[in-house]
Each structure stands twice: as structure tokens, then as C-alpha cells.
Amino acid sequence: MVAGQLEMALSADPTPPPTPGAVVRHHYDLFNSDADVQQAVTDLLTRVKDGQLHVLLDEADFSSSDVSGQRLSTLVARLAESVPDLHLWAAGVFHIDIPPSLRPEPLTVPLRCAPSVLREVQTAVGRLTGSIHNYSDSGVPGPGDGLRVIRLSHHDNAHRGRWPVECQQCGKEVAAELRRLGVGSGGSSLPNSPTPLSYRDVFIITRSSELQDDIEDDAGQVTSRASGVVRGLRDEGLPVCVLGNQDRRHSRARWERDVHDVAVAATDRVTVTRYSYVHGLERRVVVMLPGRHKENDEGLSDELIDLGDRLFAASRCTTQLIMVDVPPVTTATSTAT
């Protein structure tokens, strides 16, 4: 998103200056390539001026349990060794994972979320104080508490599947709530909101690895249907962009196009996505769909999954949060006499 905004600002100037001032895009694969780590260090060191280097790392993960986290830590350590005055901003970091080569100066002032949304996020922050610093008081009174959090329920005979992402009825009910908010109507029912709500103002976020759009073969025939929640949204006429695992595997070109589109909000569509794909992005309206990742969540309780949802999904919301609640699984027992 930052790269896109810089490019748009520079393209608006008919005579863009040469470097410094130009946007130079580099692609590094920190997930799979040690060589790219060294190349990134080499490229960044060419930007050092008067012993200083300023770096922004958006939603950085320095976890030693993850290969990409190890590589990112290596990158930062090499920069710190080579640059006497390194200024590095790393957003979204668990403070227990900060590389020892850095001296942390934590920023804990909430900047954008409404107080009503912030309380939902703080439910998780307060229980993870060993890994996350709690919010501090900004010292500036807010204009109000913000909008009431809207709660929907994945629970009655019309609903299908264990989780909302599987459920067509959940998609229909979310669509109805978005309509009531005035999304896509050219107006807005949000109090004190001078600007209308567009479809591009909405994230529908889940952790679920089951989220997908229609999968098509080379002839354009659908071989695997979209998730139930996506079908429900489309049944109600909402334009939808889906970022899911299967889409990335089956159509890399479409995936890359959609990721860029979502980052710069180029097309007026509701984005349905896993929250690991939209780190660093925010929307005025966020719908939180509980769910599970099949490969990564084995042995994790629903309660722990909920903490992650609040940290990584609810925190994307600046104005109106919608939470879809899922009743706990109950096991019926019978006694023979």
C-alpha cells in the first residue's frame, strides 16, 4: 500500500525528480531464500547516508520458530552491525521476539481504532501481557465511544457447517447487515460520517484455511465451488474479492493481481480474506468470522483461536466491527438403566 501511494504521488508530478525521490521496487523472498536476505542487506546499505538508515517493517514476525522470522532477524542483525545509527520501525511485533541487536522503544498509544473496537482487541492483549505490551493512555480524550459492536450468530437450522466460512446463510446475514449500514448505497448510516461507505471499505476476515473462491479449469469450468459465506454474499448482490489458499495455488497471476488491488483499494469490492494476507491494512468496517487453520491449529483451544482473531482481525477495524459468534460444541451423553 505504501509503495502504491508513493508511486501515485510521484506520477501526479509531470517532472518527477531523479533519485532521491523515486520509488524503486525490490522483491525479496524471505520465506524461501537465504540469498535474498543478503541481497536485501546489500541493497539497503547503499541507502545509508551520514551513518543513518531508516527502515519500515510492516507487520514484522521475528519468531525463531518460523523460517521467515529467522531470516528477518538475520537481516536486521546484519543491518544493526553495519549501520551505527539504524532507525527501524517494526509494526505488529511480539516484544519477546525482538532481536537482541535492537534497543526497543515501544509505541503503545492507540492511533485509529474506536474505543468500542479497542476493547474487543484488549480482551486478547490483556491475556497475552507476556508477549504484548498493553495499550497506554493517549492523553487526548476521544470524541466518543464509537459505534456499538454488532454481533451475529452462526446458530440455527438455516446455518450449515461448523464455522461461518462454510455457511451460505452467514454470508446472507452479513450482507444484510452491510446493507443496513448503507454499504454500496452511496450513503451511510454511520453516525457523524460525512463520507459514504463503499464496498472497498469492508474487510470480511477469517483464520480459516477453508476459504476459497470458485476454482476453474483451463476451459473456464468451475471444478470447486466457492466457500459458503462467499456464495451467500454474492447471492445478495455484493461484489466480492476473495483471497484464499486455493486461489493462490491455482491461479498465481490472479492472486497477485487481487493482492495489489486490495492493497491500494483500486476496485470497489468487499474483500473476503484470511487475516494473514492483509497485515498492515485497515478498513472502516470489519466482519470477523471465527475459523480454524487445518494444518496449524491442531491442539489449540477455541479460546486461544479467539485471542488470535481479536488481535489480527478486529484490530484491522477503524469504525464498525461486526463479530459472528459461534456456539461451543457440546457432546450429548446418555445413561442406560
Per-10-residue mean pLDDT, the chain, length 337: 78 65 79 89 93 87 82 92 90 81 83 87 81 78 81 90 93 96 82 83 93 82 89 96 74 80 91 88 94 78 85 91 84 44
Same domain (yes/no): 18, 160: no
Same domain (yes/no): 72, 219: no
Q: Does residue 208 lie within any of the structural domains?
A: yes
pLDDT at 250: 65
Closest to 110 in 3D by CA, of 119, 118, 102: 118
pLDDT at 269: 95
Same domain (yes/no): 136, 232: yes
Same domain (yes/no): 72, 154: no
Q: Does residue 270 lie within any of the structural domains?
A: yes
Q: Does residue 332 lie within any of the structural domains?
A: no
Alpha carbon distances (Å) from 111 to 1, 118, 124, 139? 18, 10, 18, 12
pTM of the model: 0.83
Same domain (yes/no): 210, 177: yes
pLDDT at 333: 44
pLDDT at 320: 94
Instruction: Report the CATH number that the domain containing residue 246 is assigned in CATH.
Output: 3.40.50
Same domain (yes/no): 8, 90: yes
- Determine contact, residues 273/291, Cβ cutoff 8 Å: no
> How far apart (Å, rounded) are the C-alpha atoms in residues 188 and 179?
9
Same domain (yes/no): 169, 304: yes
Q: Does residue 110 lie within any of the structural domains?
A: no
H/E/C letters for each residue in 103-161? Answer: CCCCCCCCCCCCHHHHHHHHHHHCCCCCCCCCCCCCCCCCCCCCCCCEEEECCCCCCCC
Q: What DSSP designation does 49 have?
A: B
Q: Does residue 122 lie within any of the structural domains?
A: yes
Same domain (yes/no): 312, 189: yes
Residue-range definition of the domain harbouring residue 267: 115-325
Q: Does residue 247 lie within any of the structural domains?
A: yes
Domains held by the chain: number: 2
Ramachandran region, residue 135 (left: φ > 0; alpha: ψ -120 to 50; beta: rest): beta
Closest to 314 in 3D by CA, of 92, 149, 108, 95: 149
pLDDT at 337: 40
Q: Residue ranges of the alpha helices (H) in the chain?
A: 2-11, 34-45, 67-82, 115-125, 168-180, 228-235, 245-250, 252-264, 302-312
Same domain (yes/no): 121, 10: no
